[in-house]
Amino acid sequence: MHNPLANAGKRKTICVFCGSSMGHDEAYAVAARRMGALIAEAGFTLVFGGGSLGLMGEVARAARDGGAPIIGILPEFLRHLEPPLKTAEELIITPDLYLRKDRMISLGDAFVILAGGLGTLDEFFEVLTSAQLGVHKKPIVVVNTAGFYEPLKTALDHVVVQGFARRESANLFEIAPTPDDAMRIIRPALAGAQVSS
Ligand code: AMP
């Protein structure tokens, strides 16, 4: 039987959360493609939402074109709304969105969040709150392309200042201005880490 993870080998994986849209500023797509290329260059496997649309598709095509194994994780009901990359090397179909997120988080050795919409924010908060509760200690890096995540920083500061989260919890992720900066954080952080499964 086809094993969807066979090609991933023992490479470490970077799970990228990002928009299924392109956004209005070309800088978002440029950053997405750069992130994919860097993942390939550094010898990581990409884990992503499986779709070919928006920034998700841009990251995945760039990673694949650079020679990285890519693992797409797509819920059954989104197959038509977010069609998979035709050449995705590995596609894992989950019964629902919750299991998709769960699978992405368990397969990722590190998380990169690029610009995105409500789904991306949901995924970011899921991975951050699970770190807050000690479920994992994996690196989380938000790429602040063109200042996209400035309002998120403000919102998190507000939550801390108002006494609803500890500063340490809001500091469980790093913010990098560019994909290159994100990779400079992730590479050393993953150097001694175990491979997730
Ligand atoms: P968006 O940032 O809204 O473009 O969504 C990015 C990705 O997150 C898309 O593949 C969405 O299908 C996915 N998504 C949206 N809502 C959820 C959710 N509640 N759980 C998991 N993934 C989601």
Tokens at 175, concatenated: 């913010």
Q: What is the pLDDT of residue 3?
A: 47
Q: What is the pLDDT of residue 8?
A: 46
Share of the chain above pLDDT 70, in %: 93
Averaged pLDDT, 29-47: 97
CA-wise closest residue to 86 among 51, 55, 54: 51
pLDDT band at 1 (very low <50, low <70, confident <90, very high): very low
Q: How far is CA 95 from CA 118, 141, 175, in A?
A: 20, 28, 32
Domains with residue ranges and CATH for the chain: 7-190 (3.40.50.450)
Q: What is the pLDDT of residue 9?
A: 53
19: left (phi over 0), alpha (psi -120 to 50) or beta: beta
Contact 106, 197 (CB under 8 A): yes
Q: Indicate the pTM of the whole model.
A: 0.91
> Candidates 18, 20, 79: which one to mutate for ligand 1, based on the most atoms within 8 Å of Cβ?
20
CA of residue 184 to ligand 1 center, whole Å: 27
Quote the CA–CA distance of 112 and 11 in Å, as a whole number: 17
Look up residue 193 and give its DSSP letter: P
CA-wise closest residue to 27 among 4, 3, 58, 49: 58
pLDDT band at 37 (very low <50, low <70, confident <90, very high): very high
> Candidates 100, 123, 152: which one to mutate for ligand 1, based on the most atoms within 8 Å of Cβ?
123
pLDDT tens digits for range 58-79: 999 999 999 999 999 999 888 8
Q: What is the pLDDT of residue 196?
A: 74
Share of the chain above pLDDT 90, in %: 80
Residues near 197 by Cβ (< 8 Å), separated by ≥ 6? 5, 106, 107
pLDDT tens digits for range 69-118: 999 999 988 887 877 787 767 889 999 999 999 999 999 999 999 999 99
Q: Is 170 exposed, middle or buried (0-12, 13-18, 19+ CB in 10 A)?
A: middle
Ligand 1 lined by 84 (C-beta under 6 Å): no
